[in-house]
Structure 1
């Protein structure tokens, strides 16, 4: 039994290290793994050992394009950085500030057609709309009567961000050909594709 648990733990640790994750903390059989801030060390290790798997995916493909794409066993590359301590793609503000902070992907102009003005306008619109809903149309919304909401056209996740102070869980759902899911994740929110 104990040998089986050790073998299972070794397999988990090997898989995590192959993905370039580092063990952040461990206590009483519970471990917390941290993804890398960038892929400099990961790429260097793969240059030294070409047999190391999984490999880094091709940088020519957009890592946010996931639907109707052949699955490949590889690590999606993080944006390039200059030094080991730099956060790939840009650092996020601390919670809860990053709910309303401009996401790094928008700052870098890496999403076609999405600019800072679009993001900020959406936040303001949904903040005002949620206040109106809570005060006039759906008073139970503010009182915690509704716990789970699915936003079936979530765009940049502004509706969920406006509800962040309420006791409500929002699943942001976007069409598979949209590219906003990465921004939703950078908000610190959850989301999924739905065809």
Structure 2
């Protein structure tokens, strides 16, 4: 599947608008947003999404102190939306693969590209081609709610385990009941976990689950030194 350029009204018009230089381009309003090419996503909604993810990422950094350290170089966002998670993380120490689920309500991969980010379509009920690399950090925002009636959570988690390096981390953001189920499964996979409230407090139904994949052999967890 190829993401087409937005339509133009004249031969002189630049399809996709004028692109700003990077990194200014990362937070500028993409042409697909300003031109109204994506129904239901206004300039204001885009800017609010940007601010929300800056707030979320700052909250992540308070829990996972090494998020800014360069320890996580290869990062994946399994449900990238407008790419604002990757934009909030922006650093020369890392790169983010932004995945647009094929069943997502809105196709925003073009917005991700216009922001100067890398992206791809994928159905998480299927295997993900990881050649030639695995990932240090995976971000799963609403993934398990999105696929609740599509495929088993166990299958998605096993695929995540396959593409995640030992001592790699996962950040799950989802409804509390969904994360309780996910936590039970990943503990059986010998991942260490920590559930925390939304940064706006315990009354928000959305929670965050942090997990770290451990080295293990012969049925026992072992630490690397």
Structure 1 length-normalised TM: 0.56
Report deviation, 1:81: 4.9
The structure 1 residue matched to 2:60, chosen from 110, 116, 133, is 133
Deviations 1:46-89 (A, max 9, x none): xxxxxxxxxxxxxxxxx74xxxxxxxxxxx566325354x4223
The structure 2 residue matched to 1:104, chosen from 31, 39, 48, is 31
Please identify runs of 4+ aligned residues in structure 1 that moved more than 4 A.
none
The structure 2 residue matched to 1:154, chosen from 68, 71, 80, is 80
Deviations 1:115-169 (A, max 9, x none): 11221111111112222222x2111111111111111111000000011125121
Partner of 2:66, secondary structure, is: helix
The structure that is strand-richer by fraction is 2
Question: Where do residues 104-123 of structure 1 align in structure 2 (5 Å cutoff)?
Answer: 104-123=31-50
Larger Rg: 1
The structure that is helix-richer by fraction is 1
Matched, 1:192 2:120: yes
Stretches of structure 2 that go unaligned for 5 or more consecutive residues are 124-225
Question: Which residue in the other structure is 2:110 paired with?
Answer: 182
Give the conservation status (yes or no) of the 8 Å contact 2:32–2:38.
yes
C-alpha RMSD over aligned residues: 1.9
Give the conservation status (yes or no) of the 8 Å contact 2:77–2:96.
yes
